[in-house]
Every structure is written in structure tokens, then in C-alpha cells.
Chain A
Amino acid sequence: NAFQVNATQQSRIITGTVKDDAGIPLQGVSVTIKGETAKTQTDANGKYSISLQSTGSHLIFTYIGMETREIPIGSGNVYNVTLLDDSKTLEEVSISTGYMTQKKADLTGAISVISRDDFAKNPSANVMRSLQGKVPGVFITTDGNPAENVGIQVRGITSMNSSPALIVLDGQPVTINLRDINPNDIESMQVLKDAASASIYGSRAAGGVILINTKKGRKGDNTKITVDSYVGASKITGVPDMLNAVQYGQGLWQATVNDGDDPGPGNIRIYNYDWNRDANGVPVLNKVTPIEWLNADHTMPSSDTDWFKEGTRTGYQQNHQLTISSSSERSTSLFSLNYYDNNGTQVTSNFKRYSARFNNDYDLLKGKLTIGENFALSKLAIHDVNSTYGFLVMPPNIPVYDLNGGWGGVAMPLGMDDFNNPVRDLLIRKDNRNNYLKALGTVYANLKILPNLALKTQFGVDYTMEYDRTIDPKWVEAGGKSNTINRVFQNNTHDLGTTWTNTLTYNLKLGEHTVDMLGGLEAYKLLQENFQGNRDGLLLENRDYAYLGTATGDSKGLLGGGNERKLFSYFGKINYAYASKYLLSATIRRDGSSVFGENNKYGFFPAFSAGWRIKNESFLKDVSAISDLKLRASWGQNGNSAPLASALLVNIYGVNVDGTSYPIAGNQTGGIPSGYLRRSLGNQDLKWETTTQTNIGVDFAFLNNRLTGSLDWFNKKTTDMLFLPPYIGALGEGGYKWINGADMTNKGFELILGWNDTKGDFSYHITTNFSAYKNKITGLPSSVRYAYGGNGLLDDVLGRPLNSFYGLVADGIFKTQEEVDNSAQQPGKGIGRIRYKDLDGDGVINEAYDRTWIGVRDPNLMAGLNLQASYKNFDFTAFFQGVFGNDVYNSWKELSDFWNIGVQNDRNHPLRVLDAWTPLNPNSDIPALSRRDSNGEKRLSTYFIEPGSYVKLRSADLGYTFPSKITQKISVERLRLYISAQNLFTVKSGKFTAGDPENPGTGYPMPLTTYLGINVTF
């Protein structure tokens, strides 16, 4: 064969990239060719180039701590390789699946394995924020608050009440906010989505399970020091153009004349107007003049304040991480320190975290016994404020400060409404913060009784202490608003969760049969105690002075409480594989909880799954286009008791001096007797809410693993939902009673597709994911049929998504008197007002008969697109995320389009409001300004329902890794610099009238953040 001869006789240059399983390039990997002498090492980007002479048949890759791989050399010249830890081989990648590990290839459940790149390259204090949009089926919501709270929802709304995803950190199930965990310490994450995967966690797993393992020292590594630092700056974007003081006066005038009122001094006392009526009697404004002084003392002139500008700033972030890892033959250790500081874009908002981690393990008894611990301490300080509403509504004619340096504020004597100076509000409370001290970790011992039989015992602690001291100071605004009482609050909570887990695992391999078995016991206890005190009368409002003990006022409050709940569980799991081809798995868990009565104390949660690895069948073995193909199916049940804080078996009474005490003796002051109130009614028969989920999935890889992906379809049904229904008023106080009431389903699919390829120095990796679900309420107690929308007659939410909107249909605005006269009877209708549709055609607009289902908040589709590329020493990532087909209740529009439809009158508005309908602007679709709401336009209607679809460039980052030739001179193993940015742009529907469909209303706006960062390893 001439071709072969030709090929083998020519010397060729073989190139490629070597990475670890998290996609991080490996430097210093030794590359040789079997049977030849050529030898090289990978550079800082994991790249190598080696010359093949003639006879070599395999490339050999070796690296300390990693498996050695031999790759057969074919006709191609590019070989990209992934090296795995010693412990793993490609076929044997083990991932945690709950109390045990399993070969990735043998998984039968729906598990998303998250690559470290996914969160390492989009830094945030909360790892889930970095993952927004990247994990199919995991819906994450965020805002721009530096407090870094996120909402996490796995596969739709599992429960109408709380059903949080369970976090399992280093094997310990914990109830934490993920901002408590330093993302730099995270080694790997998996999300267990289907019931079969999650059911090993039984009664806490209905909302899905997020498994997190922290980094450890790596066997074979010498002492290694890594420094990761970044600094960032953030700026809010999309700030609305607000009315300035003159435009505000104009709007106020327009609203007043539209109402037929005289904008003279009796009605508007803060502006003087020069106006007249034109030939048609239409009012025309010639000149607006703000009055000179807004207070009688002449210390507060009319001003022109941009409250968004005054109350926001460039935010700064910094994160510094030092990690030291080390290992010896019989031990590994890792120590890390982290400091994170985020000054938010609103003045005074801040989040700070200090954390330290100590992970060690020791092999004893010749490797038969492993003892170790994973432990982290952290301190968090959070100043969680958001004054977006204040910036939006505060009238611009008011200055931040008066001429004497005191606070400016609304001119009450001139009839202005009760707005608070938002800058004053933020600044006087700048030192108030919530402080948390957290200790989180496990100690464990693992004894190999026999080579294939191991006993593990693990004790975990999840401790949070919160201590807050806040001052509510006195203040005076020059317009007359004031607070004449100051007060100090002290608050302390103590939450200690402990988990003791004992498991026995047994592995058996007989020929082609593999059996893994697990049995275990787990005891969980949560103890909570708290007290809060407050007292007025502080001599100094100084933080160094203000304590409960230094306040001297008579008005005081003292509260304290506690709670305890326990779980005791048995569980077992068996995995069977035949020739890595036919896979079966079964799980059972029995959970007993202190929150249920004797009748239903224990819940039983079974699950079964099966897989068929078709690729391993003989008929596919030689089909080279198909690298892998596996079918999966599972069925299982999970439970949920999260909505219940404590046992609710009997009628519960309580005391509350602020609600039950009465000066029965007629005394004006001095102690008064208090009494009891009923808080809730008991239910002896209360039990778990159960989620039953079926999952069918396929995993595939084609074209030599260049195209990979998986597709999952699921049907999740939640029954006997724990439900605290609102109740008939005549039942009176404390009529709340938890029941197992509603039923709901979520059906959906998830698809993830990846494509990677290398062309010379250029390699790229594209990952895209799509997911969707449909939520449907399938059962509700009849007494609450209308509590989720519906007219109380026929329409109800049954058969519809829980997040449905029910309201009137806005049918444009009345443009002529003729239209007004010919429309249905509608109290308050008139020219320039919203016309509502008379759905039942009875000639009357009526809330009972003319409302309908006008939108659903859930998206039809969620998608993410991740682009990664590297060229020589540069690496680049861009991540797009989008949701499609969701309806948003745009509450911002209440504030932007209507002069007055809320409690506060004459709020400031975005510029848009000047485009409202007037006789001279008859084509507008914004209703005429009015200082009244006689047409009831705040009622939920399609006017406020807008398309919420968006696509965002969530993050982009560009890195450069210095060649090792340079770095070695300064004894640095690896040095990478990068710039990164988050929230670069948003594409939204033209019909969406507010800033950000992800964050409608007055949430903390999402900033555009840019980072500069460095990674150094010594």
C-alpha cells in the first residue's frame, strides 16, 4: 500500500494540548513516543510539539500524580489529551453520587457535572451566580446586590412552598446559602436532578441536590503555592433618564390640568406656571419656574437633583486567595485563605468575606485506614441595602443637602408627599451590617476492612452565628420630615446543625459482573436559638457607644426563641453493571423526622434506574463515528418537609406582648398584663410531600469525542404538597393549619451539546444548553381554588402554571369622546384613559367577568452558549445566556407611566412619562397623566404584562499565560493574567419598557463589572 509506505517513511510533527479533566491546561507533561527517543514537555498552555521519525506507534504522556496515557498514532497529526488523577482512568472517572462514587460511564441518572472552568472564569462570591445559565435544568436568578443572594430552582417549581436544592458539601448535607462557601476552594460540583440520583438523600432532596467537593492536596505534588487575585470595578448600566426639576414641574402641571384642576398656588405650591389655553381650549404651558425656597427658613432652595447619580457610585471588588497544598506519601494537606470585598454600586452597600480552609487526610495502617477532615471558617459582613425605588420616585427639585449642610428633604408644608431622601437614608445607616461567623466541616475515618469492604464514619458540623448591632438614628430633613427617636437593635442567633453518617460499602467484581453496594445510617440535628433586643434613647448614635446597655429610653423590645428538629435515616444503594453495558441501580431511603406525628413519622423513598451502554455492544464497537452512546431511564421518589420549621401536630399557642397585652387597669404607662394567642391549628396526620420523577436520557459522543452531549426528558409530579392554605376569615386568629394539599407537575427536557476541535495553535470548545419545563397545578383544596388567580366563579388556576397572571385586558387608550361614549360601561373612563375589554360582552367592565389569564411567568425555553478558545498563550471565553417566551409583570411601569397610582403622590418618573397622551400628543399609548386613579389603572391588566425574553452576554474573559521560559526564571511554575467582564450587554424585546427583564421593578440593578486578575503558582 503506497499510501502507508509514504506515511511511515516521512517524519511528521505531532502537536496537541494536554489538559486535566476540568479543562485546565497541564504544563510540564512529559511526552514521548513509544520506540523512539524524542522527548518533550508541554508548555504553560499544555501544548506540545514532537517530531515522529518512523516507527513509533504510540504517544506516551506522563505526569506526576496523573495517570500515564498511551495514545495510538494514526494518520492525523494532532492529538489532544486529557489526563486524569491517578485514581481515575478515562473509563473509570469516578464522580460522587451520594455517599459513594460511581464511574461516570456507568451513571444511570440525570447528573450534571460542572467543570471548574465554568465558575473559575466568571468570578463571583457565590458559585451559583457564576453558573447562571450554564447547567441545563438549573434555573438561577440574581440581581446586582453585592450581598450575592441567588435563587436556585432545579427542574421547575418543585413545591408551592419552600423546596430548596439540598447542598451536600464534602459529603455533609447542609442548609447553607452558597455565598458562604468560597468558590476558590471548590474542586468539583455535580447537580443531581432526577429522583433516582437524588433519592439517596430522601426527604431533603425533592428540590434537587448540589454536590460540592472542596480541593485537597494531591498525592505526588510537592508543596505548591497558588495565588489568585482579582480586582474589579462595576457600574450600573441602563439607568433610566429621569425627569429633571423643570421636566418634573412640567409633568406635575400636565397631570393637574388634565384633571381639570388649576395648577395655581392652591394646588401646586412648589412651581409657578405661566400657561394659557389655546384657541381650542387646550392648556399650553409657556414657562415653568420652580419656587426659590422650599422651606420657611430659606435654607433649602429648589434644586435639580439626579438621585440615581447621587445614590450610586462605581463599585469595587477585590478577591485574594492564597492556597498552599502539600503531600507526603501518607498524607495530603491544603490550606487556603481568602478575602473578598464587594462595594456595590449603591452607596454604602457592601459584602465582605474572610475565610480559611484546612483540608487534610492521613493514611494509616498501611493505607487501610484513612482519617481526614475538611474544615472552613468564615466571617461575613453584609450591608444589604437597595434604594432603587427611592432614586426613582424622589422628586428632583429637592436637594440632597440644605445650605447648612443638613439633609434636604420633601417640602411637607408645601404639600409634597412623604418621600425619604434616599441618600440620607443610605448614609445614616452606613455602619449597620449583619455579621455572620460560620464553621463548616467534617471529620471522617474510612477503614478498609477487606480490600473490597469499607466502613466510613463521618461527623459534620454546620454552625452559624449571626450577630448584628444596628442603629436607627434620629434625623431631620429641611423640608420638615424627621425622626425624633433613635434606637439600637442587637440580635444574636445561633444555629448548629450536626450530621453523623456511617456507611458500609462493598464492591464485587466477578468476571463481567460488577456490583457496588452501600448501606448507611444518618442522624441529623438542628438546634436554633436567638434573641433580639431593642431600646430607644441613645445619647450618642456612635457605633462605639450604642449598645442595649447604653440606651436609656422607655420603649424597648426583647424577643428570643429557639427551635430544634431532627432526622434519622437508613439508606441503601446497589449498582450492578454487566460488562459496562447493562447497568442497573436501586436506592432506598427511610427518613424519620421530628416534625411529623407518630402516624407518619417515617417516609420511604425508593428509586430505580437502568442504563444501556449501546456503544459497548458489538455492533457499535467498530463504528468509529460514534464514540459513545448510552440510554438511561429512571424512576424514583423524594420527599420534602422544608416548609415546616417544627412539629405542628397540635394547636399551638404563643405570647406576643405587642399583640396580647392590654392596659386593663387603665394605666397610661407602666407594665401591663399580657396574654395568649392561638398561632396555628395542629394536624396529627401531616406527612411528607412526595415528588415522583421519571427520567429518560441519552448520552452521546460522536466524531472522536468532538461532538458530545446528552438529552434528558423528565416528568416530575409533586403530590401531597405541604400547604398552608389561607382560610375563611370567620375561623379567626391562628386558623392556619398545614395540610398535605396541592398537587403539581413539571414536565420538561434538557439538552447539552458540546463541540471541540483544534486547528494548529488554535483550539476551541463550544457548549450550548437548552432546557424547558411546563408547570401545571393539578390539584388544590377546594377552599383555596381562587387564591392563585381566577374570578371566584368559574376560572381557577387548576390545569395552569402556578405562576400565571390573571387580570383585565387593556385595549389601548380612549382617543376620542366618541370612543368613550361607545364603549362598555367602565367607571372612570375618559379620553386618555385605558380602555378595558368587555370580555363577556355584557356592556359593563366588571372584575368578576372581564378578567382572564394574561400571562405566565415561566419561560418557554432557557438557553446558554459558552464559547471557549485558545490560541498560543491566549485563552478566551464568552458566555451568552437567555430565556425566551416568559411574561413579566413589569411593576416598574406602575412607576414610570402613571403620575399617581400609589400611596405616594407626585413621584418622579423616567422621561418616558412626558410622552403620555395629551390632546397635542394624541398618538401616544401611555395614558394621560393624572393625579388621580379614577379609572383603576393599577389593577393587574395586560398593560403591565410584557415579554420578558432576553439574551445577555453574561461574561467574557481574555487570559494570557506567560511562557514557562520566562516564568521559570523567577521560579514561577505558572503565571496567567486575565481581564474579564460581566453583564456586557442585554438584548430584550422592544415591547419591554423597563431596563432589565430579568430584574423588573425596583430590584438592585445588575452592574457591568470588569475585572483584572492574576493566577500564580509557585
Chain B
Amino acid sequence: ALTEEQVSNPEQLENFVTAAYAYMPNLGYPDTHAPWIASLRSDDAYKGGGGLSDQTPWYEMEIFSAVTPNVGNNDGPWYQGYCAISRANGALRLLGKFDETQFAAKEQRIAEMKFLRGWIYLGMKLRWNYVPWIDETVATDAVVVAGISNRPKGSVNDLELWDKIIKDLEDASNILPETQAEKGRPTKFAAHALAAKALLFRAYEKNDRHEVTNINKETLNKSLAHINEITARDGSQYDLTPDFAENFMIEYDNNTKESLWEIQYSLDDGTTNGRVNWGDQLNAPWWSPYFGCCDFHKISHNMINAFKTDGTGLPDFDNYNNTELGGQLYKQYFKDHAFDPRMGHTVAIPGYPWKYDNKLMFDESGSRAPFQYGYFNSMKEQVRPDCNCMFKPFYVQNSMNKKEIRYAEVLLWKAEILIQLDRTDEALPIINRIRARAANSLGRLKKDDGSLWMNYKVEQYKPGVNCTWTKDFAWKALMWEDRLELAGEGRRFYDLMRWGQLSTVMNAYIEKEKKRFDWFNLAHFTAGRDEFLPIPQPQMNYSQGTYVQNPGY
């Protein structure tokens, strides 16, 4: 064991910075902040696994009605989030003790730590809305920390918290370099992207019932300014990958123009089991002999229907969800309809190749409880079974990087802002660019004879030809595009939250899913409550009255 004095010197500073990076990426399933946890709360996916009581807390989160302040898998992520923040704060405290003659990289590392801290707080803000802001100036003393409320006296809404997060990210964007030799470190543009994301969320101002009361154009413009810093590098530093697939293949880790920042994973690296992705460890299919466990994160029937295109290759906005693929119906279903190619990259479907391997057909045995969750697995976070990038004693962990910020998403944010700023026409080419890339991502979805595995058909929006590009239509198209592009990546729930559409969309989803899986009968999304998870009851207890519970709990 080492004392604070022994480790407080310039030679040790890098070690604190490294440790701060190390915290979040490897949290195990009950504690993880991995994106798929938000995916199962949205209409993208079902929890999956062995059945409803396999990881009951997520079942409760998925049906919303059973969530209480004591719900499981909620206190862990809260605590672990603050553990990661405490590492960043600890590094910042030490960095502040020395000047640049003692530690040349001081300002860079401070910026990195603020970036990390801003990123973690952003994730926590989206989960719990009001979280106490603990930074490096707060004494590491339980009494002092318990005195800091998640809703400080005098604050009327969450904008102050947003501003703190945004400041961290903007501070980072001012200092960080344009490129990083060490790929795990964020660049200036990664910081711009997260600042833009935080500002985008902040722009949709809400009341305490989580209803949008104002869309702040000034804030949107601030967000756009950050995005423009990135899009100024379009084509040179940042671009969409030619094939959508490359975002989800380990071969392209740290090696695409689409990725602005990746969570790094490694194997055979001197640690016991490798620094692999424990957050997704339950998500490989139940598919012997290829994978051990555990068949979580199943793509919803609603999501698959959303990939279905109409005869012209555009989304079937109104009637998409009126087709059924439950039980064995899916076999004919996939033959009868046309789909956006991104489905082939997002969903594992029995009878079709696993992860572009024409010799390896996914099959029904990969599904543990098809009568509760269907047969369709999320494939983006998965690798091929022969990849030497896995630690799989039973649970399956791989070392594929998580592309945390994709240029495609940045472009979609830009389109969203432009539509909200009534610059609707400027959004059209962006959305079409995303769709064009989707249309071009067929190379890996072909049989050996060169024909397509499915009828993939996607078309760009052509005003006057196949649509009328009004603001309303553009908004609908944008929302749809967001969903397809980022399906299963844990964005959907928060996007709906930002737009104030959670209760409408989720209750419509639940009503229909009740007819597909009867466990949805207990599901209900309560507006004004279920947008956020409750502050964990143990934390309410520890704070001895300082914390304010989220409304409705």
C-alpha cells in the first residue's frame, strides 16, 4: 500500500491519468454504463437472457411499472460512475499541484481529465437527471460530499448542471490537440462532439414533468458551432466509412475516419484476463459451440419492422409495425419484405449469416427464451467466433473497441439542429448522405454467388419525387434516420427523451408488443416519471435528506 505522499509527485502523475481512463470501460454487467442498457429500455430491443427473471432489475426497467428506488442494477452504476469521477478528480487535484516545468503535459492532461469527467457526467445526467456535481475542489470527506445535493438549494432546473458538464467539455475542446498519437486519448474534435451533444440536450428545456417547454435556439446554435468545427474537417479528417459494417468490426479499430473517439479494449496485455468489454459480456448468443452465454440484448420486433422499407425504399412511417414475425412467421416475413441494409449489420437472424460469414449461419439455438424475446440478436457489439479477440470462460468478453462518437451521429445532430433552426433544406443532404452510405453498404451482405441475402432496398429522399420536404416531414425523416443508423447502440431512449416523445412512443410500442409477448401486459410508461431512473434508495439514505428524489418515485 502507498500513502498519498508517496504517490504525489510529478513522476506519478501519468499513472493517475491512466487509471482514470481505465475505470469506466470494464465495468461488469450489473454496474455497467454500456449503451445497451439504455437500448433495452427503448423500443429498439428486449432485455433477453434466460427469461424474465434473468436479471430481474432490467426486466423491471423494461416494463417501467415495476421500477422503484430500490430497483437493482441501479445503485451499482451510480456508485461506479462516481468512482470513475473520483479518479478523474484525484488526477486533477494532483495535476493542480505542479506547474509545467515539473510536468510538461499538465494542461493536456487536465483537458483529458475534464473530457472524461464531462463524458461520465453526461451519461449519468441522462440516466438520473439530477446528480450531485462533485469536482476536484470538493474535499474527499463523506460529510462534505453528503452535503452536496443533487438539486442544490436555489437551483430551479437542470440547466446549471448542464452548464457544468458543458464547461468541462468545452474546456477540454479548447486545449486538446487536433490529433492524438495515442489513440485512446480524445482529440479536440471529440471534445467538440461531446460538447455539441450536451448542448443539444440542454437546448430542449424541460419542466419537472419532463415536458419540453422551450427549444432554445441560442443553445442549438452553440451546439452547431461545435459541430461545425468538426464538419470543417469533412473528408480530410472525418468522413463516413464506405461500408457501414466497418464501424462494427474489430479490424477497423482506431482506423476509420468515422470514429472520433473509441473506448479501447485489449487482450493478452499483461493483465489477468485482458482489458476486455465486460459491460457487453451477457450479449453474445446462447449458441454452442460458438459462444457460451447469455443471449441478452434481443432486437425487438418493432425495430425489425422499422427497418422494413416500403416499395420505394423509404421507411413505412405509418404502417411499419403492422406486420408480424413472431414464432416461426419470421421465416416467411424476411422473404416477403424489403429492408434497409443496416438491418443486416445490426441484427442476427436465424438462417442468415453471422457477422458477414457466409459459412456460418445463425440459428434458433442461439436463443434461450424465444417465446419471451424472439430469435433476433443484436450483432453490432459482436465479433466472429473465430476471432482471437475474446476472453470467454463462459461469459463472452471481446476486445473490439466501442466507437463512442461516430461521425454519422455528429452529422445527424447537425441535421436535427438545422431542422429545429428552420434550415430544413440544409438537413436534406445530410440525411441523404447517411442513407446513401447505407445503400452502399451491401458488399458484405451477399451470398457467395454475389446475390443479396435479402431484398435490401433503401432510397434517398427526393423532394417532389418521393416526398415533400416540409419541416414536419424532415423531422419525421430525421427521427427515423437516427433510429436506423444507431439501432441497438443505446441512443434511442435518450433521443426520445430529448425530443419529449418518450411516453407517446413507448406506450404505443408497449400496446402493440402486448400482442406479441404477454409479459408486456404489466408494462406501462408513466409520463413525468419513467423518463429517468430513480435516485437509488441507498444514496437517498446516505445523503440524510440532502438528495431530492426524482418525481414520481
**Which residues of chain A have a CB within 8 Å of any CB of chain B?**
259-262, 266-267, 412-415, 417-418, 479-485, 534, 554-557, 646, 650-655, 657-679, 681, 726-735, 737, 782-787, 792, 827-828, 846-848, 900-905, 931-934, 936, 938
Q: A413-B365, A662-B264, A668-B389 are contacts. A934–B519 as well, Cβ < 8 Å?
A: yes
Q: Does B152 contact A (CB under 8 A)?
A: no
B368-384 contacts to A, CB under 8 A, are 368-371
B286-301 contacts to A, CB under 8 A, are 286-289, 292-294
Contact of A480 among B275, B289, B369 (CB under 8 A): B289
Q: Is the CB of A672 within 8 A of B270?
A: yes
Question: How distant is B88 from chain A, measured CB to nearest CB, in Å?
Answer: 9
Q: Is the CB of A675 within 8 A of B1?
A: no
Q: Is the CB of B146 within 8 A of A662?
A: no
Interface-forming stretch among B208-216, B426-434, B480-488, B536-544?
A: B536-544
For the complex, give the distance between the alpha carbons of A686 and B271 in Å.
Answer: 35
For the complex, give the distance between the alpha carbons of A658 and B23 in Å.
Answer: 10
B472-491 contacts to A, CB under 8 A, are none
Residues of A within 8 A of B89 (CB): 732
Range for the number of chain B residues in contact with chain A: 35 or more
B215-274 contacts to A, CB under 8 A, are 250, 253-254, 262, 264-274
B272-321 contacts to A, CB under 8 A, are 272-275, 286-289, 292-294
Q: Does B159 contact A (CB under 8 A)?
A: no
Interface-forming stretch among B77-85, B405-413, B447-455?
A: B77-85
Contact of A783 among B26, B51, B83, B146 (CB under 8 A): B146
Q: Is the CB of B327 within 8 A of A260?
A: no
Residues of A within 8 A of B68 (CB): 846-847
Q: Does B65 contact A (CB under 8 A)?
A: yes
Residues of A within 8 A of B287 (CB): 412-413
Q: Is the CB of B265 within 8 A of A663?
A: yes
Q: Is the CB of B184 within 8 A of A900?
A: no
Contact of A785 among B1, B14, B541 (CB under 8 A): B541
Q: Does B333 contact A (CB under 8 A)?
A: no
Interface-forming stretch among B53-61, B165-173, B199-207?
A: B53-61
Q: Is the CB of B86 within 8 A of A731?
A: yes
Q: Does B108 contact A (CB under 8 A)?
A: no
Most buried by A among B22, B68, B543: B22
Q: Is the CB of A730 within 8 A of B1?
A: no
Q: Is the CB of B3 within 8 A of A905?
A: no
Q: Does B393 contact A (CB under 8 A)?
A: yes
Q: Is the CB of A663 within 8 A of B19?
A: no
Residues of A within 8 A of B328 (CB): 266
Question: What mask results when residues 476 to 518 of chain B are scored 1 for a CB within 8 Å of chain A, else 0?
Answer: 0000000000000000000000000000000000000000001
Q: Is the CB of A480 within 8 A of B288?
A: yes
Q: Does B175 contact A (CB under 8 A)?
A: no
Identify 21 residue pairs between A and B in the complex whose beta-carbon atoms are under 8 Å apart, listed by A's number.
Answer: A266-B371, A412-B287, A412-B288, A413-B287, A414-B365, A485-B393, A554-B268, A555-B273, A655-B2, A661-B269, A663-B266, A666-B262, A668-B265, A668-B389, A672-B270, A728-B145, A729-B75, A827-B66, A905-B53, A931-B51, A934-B519
Question: What mask results when residues 8 to 28 of chain B are scored 1 for a CB within 8 Å of chain A, else 0?
Answer: 000010111111111101100
Q: Does B522 contact A (CB under 8 A)?
A: yes
Residues of A within 8 A of B537 (CB): 792
Which residue of chain B has the shortest Cβ distance to A729 in the bound complex? B79
Residues of B within 8 A of A664 (CB): 18, 21, 182, 184-185, 264
Q: Is the CB of A932 within 8 A of B51?
A: yes
Residues of B within 8 A of A259 (CB): 518
Q: Is the CB of A904 within 8 A of B56?
A: no
Residues of B within 8 A of A418 (CB): 50, 292-294, 394
For the complex, give the distance between the alpha carbons of A676 and B18 in Å.
Answer: 8
For the complex, give the distance between the alpha carbons of A479 and B365 in Å.
Answer: 11
Q: Is the CB of B365 within 8 A of A783?
A: no
For the complex, give the distance between the alpha carbons of A669 and B289 in Å.
Answer: 25
**Which residues of chain B have a CB within 8 Å of any CB of chain A?**
1-7, 12, 14-23, 25-26, 50-56, 65-66, 68-70, 75, 78-79, 82-87, 89-90, 132, 134, 140-142, 145-146, 148, 181-185, 250, 253-254, 262, 264-275, 286-289, 292-294, 327-328, 365, 367-371, 389, 391-394, 399, 518-519, 522, 536-544
Q: Is the CB of A652 within 8 A of B266?
A: no
Q: A415-B369, A654-B2, A932-B53 are contacts. A663–B294 as well, Cβ < 8 Å?
A: no
For the complex, give the distance between the alpha carbons of A554 and B271 in Å.
Answer: 9
Residues of A within 8 A of B1 (CB): 646, 652-654, 679
Q: Is the CB of A730 within 8 A of B53?
A: no
Q: Is the CB of A728 within 8 A of B146?
A: yes
For the complex, give the distance between the alpha carbons of A933 and B54 in Å.
Answer: 10
Q: Other than A651-B3, A938-B56, give 13 A-B pairs with Cβ distance below 8 A.
A: A259-B518, A266-B327, A418-B394, A480-B289, A650-B5, A658-B271, A662-B25, A664-B21, A665-B183, A666-B254, A672-B271, A675-B17, A933-B53
For the complex, give the distance between the alpha carbons of A468 and B56 in Å.
Answer: 38
Residues of A within 8 A of B53 (CB): 900-903, 905, 931-933
Question: How distant is B32 from chain A, measured CB to nearest CB, in Å?
Answer: 15
Residues of B within 8 A of A554 (CB): 267-268
Q: Is the CB of A681 within 8 A of B275?
A: no
For the complex, give the distance between the alpha carbons of A298 and B267 in Å.
Answer: 37
Residues of A within 8 A of B268 (CB): 554-555, 669-670
Most buried by B among A658, A672, A729, A827: A729
Q: Is the CB of A667 within 8 A of B371?
A: no
Which residue of chain A has the shortest Cβ distance to B15 in the bound complex? A675
For the complex, give the distance between the alpha carbons of A417 and B294 in Å.
Answer: 9
Which residue of chain A has the shortest Cβ distance to B4 in the bound complex? A651
Q: Is the CB of B18 within 8 A of A661?
A: yes
For the complex, give the distance between the alpha carbons of A782 and B542 in Å.
Answer: 8
For the complex, give the distance between the alpha carbons of A659 and B369 in Å.
Answer: 34
Residues of B within 8 A of A931 (CB): 51-53
Q: Is the CB of A735 within 8 A of B184?
A: no
Q: Is the CB of B19 within 8 A of A412?
A: no
Residues of B within 8 A of A557 (CB): 271-272
Q: Is the CB of A662 within 8 A of B394?
A: no
Residues of A within 8 A of B371 (CB): 261-262, 266-267
Most buried by B among A660, A848, A933: A660
In the A-B complex, list the 7 residue pairs whose CB atoms are closest, starting with the nearest. A732-B86, A480-B288, A666-B183, A675-B19, A413-B365, A557-B272, A554-B268
Q: A732-B86, A903-B55 are contacts. A658–B145 as well, Cβ < 8 Å?
A: no
Residues of B within 8 A of A655 (CB): 2
Contact of B391 among A534, A555, A681 (CB under 8 A): A555
Contact of B50 among A417, A484, A848 (CB under 8 A): A417
Which residue of chain A has the shortest Cβ distance to B138 in the bound complex? A730
For the complex, give the distance between the alpha carbons of A226 and B287 in Å.
Answer: 64
For the complex, give the distance between the alpha carbons of A654 and B369 in Å.
Answer: 43
Q: Is the CB of A660 within 8 A of B544?
A: no
For the complex, give the distance between the alpha carbons of A786 and B537 in Å.
Answer: 10
Q: A267-B371, A483-B393 are contacts. A676–B16 as well, Cβ < 8 Å?
A: yes
Q: A654-B1, A782-B544 are contacts. A412–B389 as well, Cβ < 8 Å?
A: no
For the complex, give the distance between the alpha carbons of A192 and B4 in Å.
Answer: 43
Q: Is the CB of A733 within 8 A of B18?
A: no
Question: How distant is A20 from chain B, measured CB to nearest CB, in Å?
Answer: 53
Which residue of chain B has the shortest Cβ distance to A672 in the bound complex? B269
Residues of B within 8 A of A786 (CB): 538, 541
Question: How distant is B398 from chain A, measured CB to nearest CB, in Å?
Answer: 11
Q: A555-B274, A792-B541 are contacts. A730–B132 as well, Cβ < 8 Å?
A: yes
Residues of A within 8 A of B69 (CB): 848
Q: Is the CB of A735 within 8 A of B142?
A: yes
For the complex, give the distance between the alpha carbons of A414 and B286 in Å.
Answer: 10
Q: Is the CB of A534 within 8 A of B272?
A: yes
Residues of A within 8 A of B253 (CB): 666, 668
Q: Is the CB of A665 within 8 A of B542?
A: no
Q: A261-B518, A653-B2, A733-B83 are contacts. A668–B267 as well, Cβ < 8 Å?
A: yes
Q: Is the CB of A934 within 8 A of B52?
A: yes
Residues of B within 8 A of A480 (CB): 288-289
Q: Is the CB of B75 within 8 A of A663?
A: no
